[in-house]
Amino acid sequence: MANWENMLEDDESNFVDPKFEDIQSLFLTGKIKKMYQLVKRSPTKIAELLGINYDSYHTKLVSPEKFTTLHINTMAYVFKIDPNIIYDIIQKETLEKVLLKVKSYETKMKK
């Protein structure tokens, strides 16, 4: 896990809020393959945590490349997981979109 300074200072900070324990477990066991799998796992609470409304959260689950670095780091911090776990899932999910953008760019540059 990334070194969160205040986690190192306080043993209580390693405590995972019970409403997020199942999410932590799903990430750590590799059962989350797509961010949309979180849609029925405390969506209102996660949206509130991220400071966005439910519709915005749902949009980000459908298009996970729309999550900001702050959103990802916030989720990772609260779920007590390495943010790279979330980044890896998003990277795999968005690979096709990335390849289409690159192909479009290359086609445009050939003209």
In this prediction, the residues of the chain whose per-residue pLDDT falls under 70 are 1-14
Q: Tell me, what's the pLDDT at 8? A: 43
DSSP of 10-27, one letter per residue?
-GGGGPPPGGGHHHHHHH
Query: What integer pLDDT is reported at residue 13 of this predicted model?
Result: 59
- pTM here is 0.83
pLDDT for the residue numbered 6: 54
Query: 68 in the Ramachandran plot: left (φ > 0), alpha (ψ -120 to 50) or beta?
Result: beta
pLDDT at 30: 97
Determine the pLDDT at residue 7.
Answer: 56
Q: Give the model's pLDDT for residue 28.
A: 97
What is the C-alpha separation between 17 and 10, in angstroms, rounded?
Answer: 15
31 burial type by CB count under 10 A (0-12 exposed, 13-18 middle, 19+ buried): exposed
pLDDT of residue 3: 65
CB 94 within 8 A of CB 65: yes
